[in-house]
Chain A
Amino acid sequence: MSVTGRSYFDALADALCVPTGSDERTSLLLKTESSTFIRFNRSAVRQVTQVEQAYATLALARGARRIESRVGLSGRVEADIALLRVEHATLAAALPDLADDPYLLLPEAATHSDRQERGSLPGPEHLVRTVADVAAGLDFVGFYAAGPVVRAFADSLGTRHWHHVETFHIEWCLYHAADRAVKATYAGTQWSDNEFARRIAEGALRLPLLARPARALKPGAYRTWFAPAAMAELLGALGWSGFGAKARRTGTSSLMRLAHRDAVLHPQVALAEHTALGIAPAFTAEGFARADRVGLVEAGLATGTLNCARSAREYGLVANGANSGEVPESLALAPGQLPDADALAALDTGLYVSNLWYLNYSDRPACRMTGLTRFACLWVENGKPVEPIVVMRFDDSFLRMFGEGLLGLGDRAELITESGTYLERQLGSLSTPGALVDGWRLTL
């Protein structure tokens, strides 16, 4: 029985999540994948790995007490059921040692969802041969991750959520030399050799520009166009404590000034946790169904927060499907009016920033971020790319950049799927247009 098959999940759920008629609640969050990972360096294979993994987070709640265990499963259904039953008994024995948790909040009614997306994915031999063919003569370094991924939830109330996708994600750089490269991604469910080859060829056309001598910029303020991939880094950093209810209530959010109306963003800025637009499951680890859309910033003003179940109970809010870290999984910045095709003309003279790297806060209360340019960032004059730039550090407030500094948002939002594979293949995404910003502050 495959660990990514529905019958495997159903067997576990039916065995463990049995209605009890008491105040005891058992839940099972299943995360499984059958993944092929191939990493490339210099157009050749550095490492190829196939991983079959299945983890069940088994949680037991009785009254206001809860305990949970994440258990690695073998895929042999009878053995796994036996293992989970033993774990269930262990958790039950530990429960009396716990005190009541006044902030425990669990779903009150059963919910259901079902998403099944089949894919057409290349085998490893085909993929390796294709890379060798289309990247011949190029310094291609990249990473391919593909295969079915499952997120599923069941509880003894009768809740059943099933999310099964078969996807591929290949992300690569074509290097000119040193730290100068063109970065690209190809992701989806239906692989096409032609489309992959087209994207490689498109990137290769941009390499000659990177071969020009790089311009060393002085620290200062620069008019800048941020491509969607760079915007994703800025918005990703913003999501790190910016929108969470707990961070707001404890005063540690990077958007406290926005929340207190001590600062406003540009009226064009509209941010939402837009699950319906993304690829994340429509349910949480506790079994709550997620809203299609949760508004966070509307017309430049803070309007909502991400409320996990625990925060909802603690602060008297409505849980709105946030994960326990209250970090967005499907953040969406609404597009503006600036046609993408006119972006460089609107920039005129300044910086084209393709990618940013390693963002962090240098002053969280002021929402001041720092980070670096990366890959194919260019100096632009009179709307024409002139030359690459030497890597530069920025240190600037997001509130300034996207408040008084925002000149326009691109008219087309790009869906950027999460490529992370820590512990498991991630299913988050972020949707954003590019942005034209005045006076971006470079420091080193």
Chain B
Amino acid sequence: MLDDIELLTQRVAPTDLRWSLRAVHERSEQLCVRQDIAEAPQYSRDAGVMVSVQDGDGLGHAATADTSEAGIAAAFRRAHGLARAVAGRMVFDPAALPPARARGRYQSEVQRSVASSPLRERLALLSQVSQTTHLDSRIVDWQASLLSVQTEQLLLTSEGGRTEQRWSQTMPHVQATAHVDGVTQTRSSAGQYNGWCQQGGLEVLDRASFSTEGPRVAREAIELTTAPQCPSGEMDVLLMPDQMMLQIHESIGHPLELDRILGDERNFAGTSFVTLDMFGHYAYGSELLNVTYDPSRPEQIASFAFDDEGEPAQREHLIEHGILKRPLGGAVSLARARAQRPDLQGVATSRAASWNRAPIDRMSNLNIEAGDASLDQLIGSIEFGVMMRTNLSWSIDDSRNKFQFGCEWGRVIRNGRLAEVVRNPNYRGISATFWRSLSMVGDASTFEVMGTPFCGKGEPSQLVRVGHAAPACKFSRVVVFGGEA
């Protein structure tokens, strides 16, 4: 399909205007076995193009799923018409944007493609996981699911840019709900919104230990029903990678999005407590905090070689030894921000949810680099605190400052040793000061590559898949609390 579109674009694209065309073809399969019964498989097949045309100081975008010659030509005409309609009334001058000339390819590393396994085999695996999750009658609901997505994208620009990228993404999930003596608790393999999401084929299931996760998830759900409530007070917390991913996402990722800082998102997703003058010197966290934008990790879900505006992507530190260095901003936002901060450096992370949305500043892979503490050392350093696993609840203000997060599973640490399991662990804080309480960072043995398939933002709204890898991290003097008895 992409080859045909390239040929047609060469025929119908304007020769006297600056333009780009981004074609997307995506297929997905969602399988779910709940309570040992396979639900109807859901497939999706989608294809279309987004055409952008600049005329003077106007820029318009038109999206269509009609990828015939006539359809693409019509999209060019509509985009041009919109560019004229808004000329002179835009918040930035599109004529001043840098040219997009990059050429290249990217392809996910896949060892065993999903298509290499018959549907019957995948359903049998899900049934087996479902059955092993139902440990006994205390488990009142349980399910195993598998989402696989294959995406192809071609970006062509009038400056000769041509990037072709192909991704394979796999997202397994196991969940169990237990009910004992009037208490109900739900536990999942990596969060109820597919925290285990990676690039690759069926080998992702091995990395996620999918075939053996059921009994653990079920045991922990049962354990939580009889566990005491999480203690309340100010104490140390040890956040494991499947909660760290959410902590990074909400209180580092979103506040560093340049379009938020520039005010684009104030009507919907919000603004940011970060301002342009902070870059280069602001102490975002303790000296132990090293945050990277890393599109180069093959298994991570948002790895790519080019962003959706055609900018080549490479690993960069956004925060180094606690000091804020760079925002998450692509070419358009960076050009605008440089009017105030000419020295500002961004990263290639303009992304679109699909062919029917224009790119905006997004997170891609946003990671915390490993430190040097083993898990035993982290636990051993805590006199009284709580280890928390697996995000359950998240809420943060529109400046991305005051947050409150909850986890599925907690465990008290007393005198440097793991003690009782506790339910409903929650904690709250303020982004601007929370990261300065980062007091120990786990080593590579505690590091896990996770993410979320559902990062929402933008007007019109867009969902993109975002990767977060992190080690276990210890934070000191955090306000912790549980639920009602």
Q: Could you tell me if B267 and A51 are in contact, using CB atoms closer than 8 angstroms?
A: no
Instruction: Give the contact stretch, choosing among A186-194, A199-207, A288-296, A360-368.
Output: A360-368
CB of A12, distance to nearest CB on chain B (Å): 14
Given contacts A76-B66, A124-B82, A358-B395, contact A252 B186 (CB under 8 A): yes
What are the interface flags for B458-479 relative to A under an 8 Å C-beta threshold, 1 for contact and 0 otherwise? 0111110000000000000000
Query: A312: CB under 8 A from chain B?
Result: no
A79 to B483 alpha-carbon distance, docked (Å): 56
- Residue from B64, B65, B118 within 8 A of A97 (CB atoms): B118
Q: Could you tell me if A421 and B85 are in contact, using CB atoms closer than 8 angstroms?
A: no
Query: A101: CB under 8 A from chain B?
Result: yes
Which residue of chain B is the closest to A61 with respect to CB atoms?
A: B40
Q: Could you tell me if B262 and A41 are in contact, using CB atoms closer than 8 angstroms?
A: yes
Instruction: Give the contact stretch, choosing among A150-158, A167-175, A265-273, A297-305.
Output: A167-175
Contact residues of A between 99 and 144, Cβ < 8 Å to B? 99, 101-104, 123-125, 128-129, 132, 141-143
Query: A359: CB under 8 A from chain B?
Result: yes
Query: A45: CB under 8 A from chain B?
Result: yes
What are the interface flags for A40-84 relative to B under an 8 Å C-beta threshold, 1 for contact and 0 otherwise? 111011111111111100010000011111111111100100000
Given contacts A47-B61, A175-B266, contact A94 B41 (CB under 8 A): yes
User: For B37, B71, B78, B404, which residue has the most chain A Cβ atoms within 10 angstroms?
Assistant: B404
Which residue of chain A is the closest to B359 with respect to CB atoms?
A: A47
A6 to B75 alpha-carbon distance, docked (Å): 23
Q: Could you tell me if A252 and B40 are in contact, using CB atoms closer than 8 angstroms?
A: no
Given contacts A39-B459, A178-B271, contact A370 B184 (CB under 8 A): no
- Residue from A46, A97, A132, A181 within 8 A of B119 (CB atoms): A97
What are the interface flags for B255-285 relative to A under an 8 Å C-beta threshold, 1 for contact and 0 otherwise? 0000000111011101100000000000000
Which residue of chain B is the closest to A65 with respect to CB atoms?
A: B40
- Residue from B40, B62, B484 within 8 A of A59 (CB atoms): B40
Contact residues of A between 330 and 375, Cβ < 8 Å to B? 357-363, 365-366, 368, 370-372, 374
User: For B63, B89, B264, B459, which residue has the most chain A Cβ atoms within 10 angstroms?
Assistant: B459
Q: Could you tell me if B37 and A372 are in contact, using CB atoms closer than 8 angstroms?
A: no
A427 to B298 alpha-carbon distance, docked (Å): 39
Q: Could you tell me if B41 and A98 are in contact, using CB atoms closer than 8 angstroms?
A: yes
CB of A425, distance to nearest CB on chain B (Å): 8
Q: Could you tell me if B484 and A368 are in contact, using CB atoms closer than 8 angstroms?
A: yes
Query: A37: CB under 8 A from chain B?
Result: yes
Q: Could you tell me if A49 and B62 are in contact, using CB atoms closer than 8 angstroms?
A: yes
Query: A195: CB under 8 A from chain B?
Result: no
Given contacts A46-B90, A97-B123, A360-B393, contact A179 B398 (CB under 8 A): yes
Contact residues of B between 37 and 72, Cβ < 8 Å to A? 37-48, 59-68, 71
Which residue of chain A is the closest to B33 with respect to CB atoms?
A: A99
Which residue of chain B is the closest to A423 with respect to CB atoms?
A: B463
Q: What count of chain B residues pass the 8 Å CB interface test?
A: 79
CB of B68, distance to nearest CB on chain A (Å): 7
CB-CB < 8 A to A173: which residues of B? 266-267
Q: Could you tell me if A52 and B64 are in contact, using CB atoms closer than 8 angstroms?
A: yes
Which residue of chain A is the closest to B83 with respect to CB atoms?
A: A48
CB-CB < 8 A to A128: which residues of B? 85-86, 89
A140 to B78 alpha-carbon distance, docked (Å): 26
CB-CB < 8 A to A38: which residues of B? 86
- Residue from A45, A50, A171, A372 within 8 A of B89 (CB atoms): A45
- Residue from A39, A52, A129, A256 within 8 A of B65 (CB atoms): A52
CB of B354, distance to nearest CB on chain A (Å): 8
Which residue of chain B is the closest to A37 with respect to CB atoms?
A: B460
Q: Could you tell me if B46 and A362 are in contact, using CB atoms closer than 8 angstroms?
A: no
CB-CB < 8 A to B67: which residues of A? 74
A179 to B484 alpha-carbon distance, docked (Å): 33
CB of B40, distance to nearest CB on chain A (Å): 4
CB-CB < 8 A to B66: which residues of A? 52, 74-76
CB of A1, distance to nearest CB on chain B (Å): 11
CB-CB < 8 A to B271: which residues of A? 178-179
Which residue of chain A is the closest to B428 with respect to CB atoms?
A: A444
Chief secondary structure at chain A's binding surface: strand
A104 to B34 alpha-carbon distance, docked (Å): 13
Q: Could you tell me if B63 and A50 are in contact, using CB atoms closer than 8 angstroms?
A: yes
- Residue from B118, B395, B463 within 8 A of A371 (CB atoms): B395
A368 to B485 alpha-carbon distance, docked (Å): 12
Contact residues of B between 147 and 193, Cβ < 8 Å to A? 177, 179, 183-184, 186
Q: Could you tell me if B399 and A391 are in contact, using CB atoms closer than 8 angstroms?
A: yes
A372 to B65 alpha-carbon distance, docked (Å): 40
Q: Could you tell me if A422 and B461 are in contact, using CB atoms closer than 8 angstroms?
A: yes
Query: B419: CB under 8 A from chain A?
Result: no
CB of A406, distance to nearest CB on chain B (Å): 19
Given contacts A74-B67, A128-B85, A178-B271, contact A41 B263 (CB under 8 A): yes
Given contacts A97-B123, A250-B140, contact A368 B483 (CB under 8 A): yes
CB of A199, distance to nearest CB on chain B (Å): 15
CB-CB < 8 A to A368: which residues of B? 483-484
A28 to B78 alpha-carbon distance, docked (Å): 30
Query: A443: CB under 8 A from chain B?
Result: yes
Query: A145: CB under 8 A from chain B?
Result: yes
What are the interface flags for A308-319 relative to B under an 8 Å C-beta threshold, 1 for contact and 0 otherwise? 001000000000
Query: B456: CB under 8 A from chain A?
Result: yes
Query: A10: CB under 8 A from chain B?
Result: no
Query: A411: CB under 8 A from chain B?
Result: no
Query: B145: CB under 8 A from chain A?
Result: no
Query: A325: CB under 8 A from chain B?
Result: no
CB-CB < 8 A to B399: which residues of A? 178-179, 391
CB-CB < 8 A to B414: which residues of A? none
Query: B402: CB under 8 A from chain A?
Result: yes
A91 to B462 alpha-carbon distance, docked (Å): 29
Query: B358: CB under 8 A from chain A?
Result: yes
Contact residues of B between 308 and 344, Cβ < 8 Å to A? none
What are the interface flags for A412-437 relative to B under an 8 Å C-beta threshold, 1 for contact and 0 otherwise? 00000000111101000000000000
Which residue of chain B is the closest to A357 with respect to CB atoms?
A: B398
Given contacts A74-B71, A391-B399, contact A53 B63 (CB under 8 A): yes
CB-CB < 8 A to B300: which residues of A? none
* 27 pairs from A and B in contact (CB 8 Å cutoff): A35-B460, A41-B263, A44-B90, A45-B91, A46-B91, A46-B92, A47-B358, A48-B85, A49-B357, A50-B78, A52-B63, A74-B68, A75-B64, A98-B38, A98-B41, A128-B86, A173-B266, A250-B184, A359-B395, A361-B393, A362-B483, A363-B424, A363-B484, A365-B184, A368-B484, A374-B398, A393-B404
Q: Which A positions have Cβ atoms within 8 angstroms of B?
A: 35, 37-42, 44-55, 59, 65-76, 79, 87, 91, 94, 97-99, 101-104, 123-125, 128-129, 132, 141-143, 145, 171-173, 175, 178-179, 181, 183, 250-252, 256, 310, 357-363, 365-366, 368, 370-372, 374, 391, 393, 395, 397, 420-423, 425, 443-444
The 4 closest A-B pairs by CB, nearest first: A363-B483, A251-B184, A143-B459, A421-B460
